[in-house]
Amino acid sequence: MSRMSASAGGAGGAVSEGCQLCRRLPLTEVAVFGPDLAATRTYTERVRSEMSKIPEVRDLEFEQPLDYPSVDVKVDRVMAGQQGVTVSQVAKSLSEATASSRFTNPNYWEDPRTGIAFQVQVQYPQSSMTSLQDVQNIPVMPGGGQHPLIGDVAKVDYGTVRGEFDRHNSSRMLSLSANVVGNDLGRVSNSIDAAIQRAGTPPRGTTTQVRGQIAPMHETLSNLRTGLLLAVLVIFLLLAANFQSLRLAFVVLITTPATICGVALMLFATRTSLNIESYMGAIMAIGVGTANAILLVTFAEEHRRAGGASIDAGMEAVRERMRPILMTSLAMIAGMIPMALAAEVTAPLGRAVIGGLLAATLVNLSVLPLVFSVVQKRASTANASLDPEDLQSRWTSQ
């Protein structure tokens, strides 16, 4: 017995090699790669069953049409031999009837006036191929006197075929796509990872990858975290070079943990997720809070070097610079209130800035002077500059 299939859309009309780059990027996608497509599909079905239990996951489906309707033609070789035809001749007649003769006998006619070649082909009208009976009545043309019908030498029935084969690095791939409703993508990502774990051990050689918008989200958040840490490190080094003191640089940077705590508390109080916008708001709040801290520490250190006690220098710096610090912070907070109350896309940025600045301002005006007084209590008043051209440096040539 030999089996041939014709898809409902014509010969070869359903089966195709899929291009993943040509598709839209789904909100969430789980791709399963494996050498055995049947085993990969069984495992993917288990993953799909577990993912369907997640309330926030909607429109869960296979991206590939795995059960595309087709017409199966199973040729009986013995019967075909008795009728004087071969399987190849049956396949050729079926292809010509369901598609066109151009697939079996390419024929070109050249226009003698213009020299342009035209392809000449013969095909059945689509209206003549509408049922299994029409396929069974297709004559097989072996070139001899007998013209048996396909129904005489083959069994014709409805069936299904895989409508698309996708590959990634030469591995067969099946993918599940879904939308997310009622929760943020980060929390749903954790639920999807748990669902994949519940699906059990994948077949040998099979790997699973979560893609869609989840992968770039994780990459972006990771880069933002790295950028934030590098920014704090660079600020610390610049402050150490500016103040020529690691201790003063440390005093300024105590505002950073307070700012991050303020951002976290504000996001928690407003039930806002940690996303790209809130990360940007945190970076902005850290920048403004650090600038205010630098202002305070600079004035306090000047008062201390002038002969005052460290605690008095810190309090004096707060009294002198409280107004500009409050004006700067309150102006930025007031400007962020409309954004914090606006659409969900921009609200996290405004809320993060407000929470971070509130905490940074409170710490700058209350905790920072106390930390300064403790750290600089026994510090020397001599200039630490190593520049011989600095008139206040002890290394200045006399």
Same domain, 205 and 352: no
What are the respective helix, strand and coil percentages of the chain, to the nearest 5? 50, 15, 30
349, with CB counted inside 10 A (0-12, 13-18, 19+), is buried
Same domain, 257 and 281: yes
Mean pLDDT along residues 179-186 = 81
User: Number of folded domains in the chain?
Assistant: 3
Local structure of 31: helix, strand or coil: strand
Q: Say what the pLDDT of residue 263 is.
A: 93
Q: Say what the pLDDT of residue 144 is.
A: 60
Closest to 34 measured CA to CA, from 207, 189, 195, 167: 207
Q: Say what the pLDDT of residue 351 is.
A: 92
The CATH number linked to 79 is 3.30.2090.10
∠ CA 180-185-191, rounded to 5°? 85
Q: Say what the pLDDT of residue 9 is.
A: 42
Average pLDDT of the residues of the chain:
82
Indicate if the pLDDT at residue 206 is higher than 80. Answer: yes
Indicate if the pLDDT at residue 188 is higher than 70. Answer: yes
Q: Say what the pLDDT of residue 170 is.
A: 77
Indicate if the pLDDT at residue 281 is higher than 60. Answer: yes
Lowest pLDDT segment from 114-118, 209-213, 289-293: 209-213
Residue that wins the pLDDT comparison between 342 and 44: 44
Contacts of 74 (CB under 8 A, 6+ apart): 1, 2, 3, 4, 154, 155, 156, 157
The CATH number linked to 266 is 1.20.1640.10
Indicate if the pLDDT at residue 142 is higher than 80. Answer: no
Tell me the pLDDT band of 143, cut-offs 50, 70 and 90. Answer: low
Whether residue 380 is contained in a domain is answered as no
Question: What tens digit of pLDDT does each residue of 154-174 get?
Answer: 898 888 888 888 887 778 888
Whether residue 314 is contained in a domain is answered as yes
Whether residue 198 is contained in a domain is answered as yes
Same domain, 133 and 175: no
Query: Which element (helix H / strand E) includes 374?
Result: helix 347-375
Whether residue 228 is contained in a domain is answered as yes
Contacts of 124 (CB under 8 A, 6+ apart): 96, 97, 98
Whether residue 395 is contained in a domain is answered as no
Same domain, 157 and 82: yes
Mean pLDDT along residues 246-254 = 87
Indicate if the pLDDT at residue 21 is higher than 60. Answer: no
Same domain, 89 and 58: no
Same domain, 329 and 282: yes
Indicate if the pLDDT at residue 8 is higher than 60. Answer: no
d(CA 214, CA 207): 17
Residues of the domain holding 205: 2-67+164-212
Q: Say what the pLDDT of residue 271 is.
A: 86
Mean pLDDT along residues 320-342 = 89
